[in-house]
Structure 1
């Protein structure tokens, strides 16, 4: 049985491990931290129907549905509190499944626990330092603790700061800062949403005068929220770490003060323990080299998308299942990696471009931001009339485990 060294235990890592196991490989996950990456930054995320469909091919879609909840509607508002329009998020699968929202921490834990349950081995405290091909067409990885591991394939599922990407191509681009700071949190008071008259299960978006704000009400009554704040300069890791929840709250309340609606009340009601540490937002410029004959990058390591696309998890999942199918069906590893890139590059770069376009609006300031706010209602209402159809290419993508030759059943 061929062995795959999978670098990273976030989301792409365990999904890739489960997919490769189904394809007949022996996967081992190497995680840099001393435990699964459940404590990484980030509040919550969405898993679109194309991602859930891909997860179903390895019988893992129920993990998202068990820890998340349906959010099938986007509702947009102006800074003055005026409702613009509602529109669906990504359509519906034949069994009625819609887009789900899930806390990042819960999804990490569920995916890694399921991988372990399926017998997949994990090695913790293994930060990748280097990797080199072996004479036998395999690969040997070296870790910061001095240990080594050898296999037939190394998969870099190690995120936007990927060391694997650097090893494959030292000239590869770095992450691109989008001009946006992110912040998020959870309001645990179950009565606030009733007091404010908020609808559970709806993803609300407010185009504020100085910040973009989104929130939803979970089935428990907990309010989940995020904010995007324009920032010309990327904040250092130290600056992000040193800024306290009280300081983030004060800054965000200042930006939201000019807006009507529930945003300021939600932020004010968020306890310090409910704040998610602020973070810079990035996407990934086109990476020219995804693989060698025995190493490959997937997910954010190859093509990080802006959070506004709602496709980060789904792209990683599609990558994982597609890679497994290529390794199952191609005559050798090198051919499989070339086929994987052929199947995935055009699609993911189109998604990255879509996310960059929507994030660009959030990064505007001054007159440019005013123009965006004035024109946005017009474009949103037109999009709502079109329904999901204008984004069918993104949401209708399907992968079939039983028919690899016809991987794409709709979309590109």
Structure 2
């Protein structure tokens, strides 16, 4: 057993809540510290939790509430801007009981995971921002903006892509990299579309990418990826009003077949427009008794459909490593060694897909000619399933397995 008996987890989102549950299961006393107040609404639109993420939650007995919060999305159909069907692919292989990938609001995922944290009696301290770290040879001391301090045997930074823990513990780490795309999304109620419920439609528009899924109750959940070569300055996107964005959407999707403009028009309001950024490669993930996981260590593009799932996997692997290794630093090293190849491969794949979302005229012709053959191949489906077939076995410990 590791000598660690106490842990501070900075961040109470997906990665932090999963880490709190997993570490507690490994016999470690956990305290979670979250920047936002308890009553502050969670930001973000919606996401796909792939079956490997669900499998990781099952390894720590924490999947029930999450499954209740989402709806199944097993497949996606890809189309060109003319409406031509380019092909269909799964969102990942199903679990043994038939469970498939789930789509749910990020806020609902966070609430479900925090409910798991609270059900295990784990303390969450809200409204405190980390401002300082002092990591000694045996303990970590964290300082917060309200003047309070906390100590533990180790500290887990699960505080997202703009991680304060990463900045303090790993100085010189790379800043988030801009993908060349900006995004927003929303929910359009009361629409009747020809698309089957529970599957995604992904449209490679002439000027911008559009995706949607029909949720239970005929509510359409949608998102856009708009190409923008120059990275927006801080506050630049927020300064553009909703009416201006709607006018911009009308221009971008004017020549596209499909329901993009109908869906956007039926949406009362949508999420703030934000740049898509990633952390493609961070080395190392830890320093002494401090480690970062999830988006703080390796933020993939949303195109991967794996951000939340990879964060949950990190949490479970970290807990098993701390349970089974003799020391904290040895456990951290094992976690990074096991996780790095997998997460970086998924990040690279998503980056390649992003490059196909808004190519020029010649690029569109090539993509629309080649993609149907690629999607129709067994290799493409095997690639789609590979990320989701990753399996974690709590009893067996840290091993790389597929279902």
TM-score (norm 2): 0.95
- 2:166 — aligned with what? 165
- 1:61 — aligned with what? 63
Q: Counterparts in 2 of 1:32-181, with a 5 A limit? A: 32-35=35-38, 38-40=41-43, 42-135=44-137, 137-181=138-182
- 2:8 — aligned with what? 5
Q: Give the conservation status (yes or no) of the 8 Å contact 1:206–1:212.
A: yes
Q: Give the conservation status (yes or no) of the 8 Å contact 1:253–1:268.
A: no
Q: Counterparts in 2 of 1:4-23, with a 5 A limit? A: 4-23=7-26
Q: Give the conservation status (yes or no) of the 8 Å contact 1:256–1:263.
A: yes
Unaligned 5+ runs, structure 2: none
Of residues 303, 311, 322, the one that matches 1:308 is 303
- 1:292 — aligned with what? 287
Aligned partner of residue 362 in structure 1, secondary structure: coil
Q: How many Å apart are 1:84 and its aligned residue? A: 2.1
Distance, in Å, in 1 between the alignment partners of 2:40 and 2:298 is 20
Of residues 220, 226, 230, the one that matches 1:223 is 220
Q: Give the conservation status (yes or no) of the 8 Å contact 1:36–1:109.
A: no
Moved more, 231-240 or 168-177: 231-240
- 2:237 — aligned with what? 240
Aligned partner of residue 28 in structure 1, secondary structure: strand
Q: How many Å apart are 1:167 and its aligned residue? A: 1.7
Of residues 9, 31, 39, the one that matches 1:28 is 31
Aligned partner of residue 326 in structure 1, secondary structure: helix
- 1:184 — aligned with what? 185
Q: Give the conservation status (yes or no) of the 8 Å contact 2:89–2:384.
A: no
Q: Give the conservation status (yes or no) of the 8 Å contact 1:183–1:279.
A: yes
Distance, in Å, in 1 between the alignment partners of 2:384 and 2:87 is 17
Q: Give the conservation status (yes or no) of the 8 Å contact 1:180–1:362.
A: no
Size of the aligned set, in residue pairs, is: 400
Of residues 331, 334, 351, the one that matches 1:336 is 331
Q: How many Å apart are 1:365 and its aligned residue? A: 4.5
Distance, in Å, in 2 between the alignment partners of 1:38 and 1:97 is 29
Q: How many Å apart are 1:366 and its aligned residue? A: 5.5
Q: How many Å apart are 1:371 and its aligned residue? A: 4.1
Distance, in Å, in 1 between the alignment partners of 2:128 and 2:278 is 26
Moved more, 64-73 or 364-373: 364-373
Aligned partner of residue 86 in structure 2, secondary structure: strand
Q: Counterparts in 2 of 1:353-368, with a 5 A limit? A: 353-365=348-360, 367-368=362-363
Measured on the aligned residues, the alpha-carbon RMSD in Å equals 1.8
- 2:383 — aligned with what? 390
Aligned partner of residue 12 in structure 1, secondary structure: helix
Q: How many Å apart are 1:198 and its aligned residue? A: 2.4
> Quick check: 1:324 aligned with 2:325?
no
Q: How many Å apart are 1:373 and its aligned residue? A: 4.3
Moved more, 55-64 or 322-331: 55-64
Which consecutive aligned stretches of 4+ in structure 1 deviate over 3 angstroms post-superposition? 363-378
Aligned partner of residue 277 in structure 1, secondary structure: coil
Moved more, 290-299 or 353-362: 353-362
Q: Give the conservation status (yes or no) of the 8 Å contact 1:9–1:112.
A: yes
TM-score (norm 1): 0.93
Unaligned 5+ runs, structure 1: none
Q: Give the conservation status (yes or no) of the 8 Å contact 2:170–2:287.
A: no
